[in-house]
Chains A and B, each alone.
Chain A
Amino acid sequence: MNEVIEGIIQAVQLIVSLDEEVLEITARSLLISLSATLIGSAIAIPIGGFIHFKEFGGKRGLVTIIQALYALPTVLAGLLVFLLLSRSGPFGFLRLMFTPTGMVIGQIVLIIPLMIGMTLIALSGVSRTKQDTVISLGASETQTVITIVKEARFAILGGVILGFGRAISEVGAAMMIGGNIRGYTRVLTTAIALETSMGNLSLSIALGLILLAIATVVTGILFLVQER
């Protein structure tokens, strides 16, 4: 128990003294997960919009698959990207294994189903009357899509924030694709896993507190967005 209390005290000291390693790992985590969220949003929102506004065969089946992938295990996402990016894989020539870019790709694969699903839910929340109103006011197809997406923007943003939360808190894909290389691909979650196994509890707790703080801020923003 003493070890834990001691660890917490040391962790607070590391944070307050702006320890270089702690800051560097935190900054990298944020950069990788924000990049994944941004790129993932740019892909997921239009796909969600397409699925919502277009009628095509197998639409219901596709939506069911997307919903099932919300719970895609992070190690499976990691394995999939590993197979694609490894030297013998189809994209091995890009040499993205054990790089931050590879980690971004891994997180994108992980969060895209969730963000598409959240976009679909957000757009479905816009009433039929509202959509009919927009169409009857003379909107073109593009104008209709833009207006309805704008109407659902806070709900869509909620999905984006959820995606970010999932990205920054995952450890499986980050470990498998990034390799947890110190000063290069080490992020909050992989660092916590490693330092804990090495018995360096103070650093683990410090990084854990930061991760918890980020998760709290994300949840707070999500709450505020949903209040709109």
Chain B
Amino acid sequence: MIEFEHVVMNFGEKEVLKDASFTIQKGEIFTFIGPSGSGKTTILRLIDMLERPTRGSISIDGTIVSSLKDRDRIPLRRKMSMVFQKPSPLRGTVYDNVAIGLIFRNISHDEIKARVPEALELVGLKGYEDRKAGTLSGGEMQRVAIARAISTKPDILLLDEPTANLDPVSTEKIENLIFSLKERFGITVVLSTHDMVQGQRLADRIAVIIDGRIGQIGTSKEIFYHPMNRAVANMVGVENIFEGIIAKNEEGLASIDVDGTSIIATTAFPPGTPVVLYMRPEDITFHVRDGVKSSARNEFTGMITKVLPMGPNARLKVDAGITLTAVITQRSYEELDLALGKETKLAFKASAIHVVERKPSKSV
């Protein structure tokens, strides 16, 4: 178990980590999501004891590591492995690179000879042993670094943006590997990523970190559908954020006034409560023909004011009294004959809206 209690980290004048408190349970995949420079790498470096916190305490399996002497940190660090965002090859072959952590642990020569090919096979680099590490591509080196980390059979695996340099096929392989390491060996995996979807795919729990402060910790469902505040919502792609006041509430089904537009949402807040509404753009559906019955309680007619193609999808802005942002597949966009400037009907369910009480001057 990894525990941070009110940890603050300063680099010179700059406070890169602000009062971070969280617990990572043994055997879980815990992901830090945040933009570049938000403090994700610093947290991983603190766990690996490469940095000492300015304030606060960090404990691993009950041992407070933040105040340990350098020498006393080594046995604990040998239970962990870290893969850096930009791994650099050490001189020598791929074999030498993967074997080095085992050599540091005084593992027998025979066992090293068995473990190195095994680790390379797991990352899809079977037969790479004799290659010069310096000649590998960024993606190959990333996988060698992962092989180097897992060859030591760590209890805790720290991965800093592990798939940032990889193609989609390699990314999928590494993600599957992370899953299997957790399933087969019960390894605790602590991962940092700025890729929301990866965080959602991999993590048992996610911590959203923005500007050095942890905004929210929860399951992917909690984070992506029930963001606690505007900063977290923005970070995880919740693009429809509205402020309103509960006009009436009948058995948990509330009518909320948003700048004169009424939105139906499920919430227990009583009438008069100032609230913020959060809704993912994927939860909005389109239908152009009249008479098509929708089960959604919120139905609007609006004009498409912006269309942004995004690979297989398209992001649409629709002016329906309030500006709604929706994501639709390109195929649906074409089949529904949508276009910029065209009028369309759209709908969303009351349960698609996450309602949070609005408190004055609340920030992440």
Listed in ascending order, the chain A residues whose CB lies under 8 Å from chain B are 127, 129-130, 132-141, 143, 147, 150-151
Contacts and interface: CB of A to CB of B under 8 A. Distances in A.
Contacts, number: 53
A141 B101 CA distance: 14
A139 B88 contact: no
A141 B70 contact: yes
A138 B91 contact: no
A134 B100 CA distance: 8
Contacts of A150: 91
Nearest to B91: A151
B38 interface: no
A140 B145 CA distance: 19
Interface residues of B, number: 25
B344 interface: no
Given A140-B74, A147-B90, A135 B105 contact: no
B50 A137 contact: no
B26 interface: no
A141 B45 CA distance: 18
Contacts of B71: 140-141
A218 B105 CA distance: 40
B148 A135 contact: no
Contacts of A143: 104
Contact of B84 (A132, A138, A140, A147): A132
A136 B82 contact: yes
B78 A132 contact: no
B86 A137 contact: no
B81 A136 contact: yes
B248 interface: no
Given A129-B86, A132-B50, A132-B84, A137 B148 contact: yes
Interface in B139-168: 145, 148, 152, 158
B87 A137 contact: no
A134 B77 CA distance: 11
B48 interface: yes
11 contacts: A129-B87, A130-B88, A136-B50, A136-B77, A136-B80, A136-B82, A138-B74, A138-B101, A139-B104, A147-B100, A151-B91
A141 B72 CA distance: 11
Contacts of A139: 74, 104
A151 B88 CA distance: 12
Given A129-B87, A133-B90, A140 B104 contact: yes
A140 B100 CA distance: 12
B179 to A, nearest CB: 23
Nearest to B158: A136
Contacts of A136: 48, 50, 77, 80-82, 84, 158
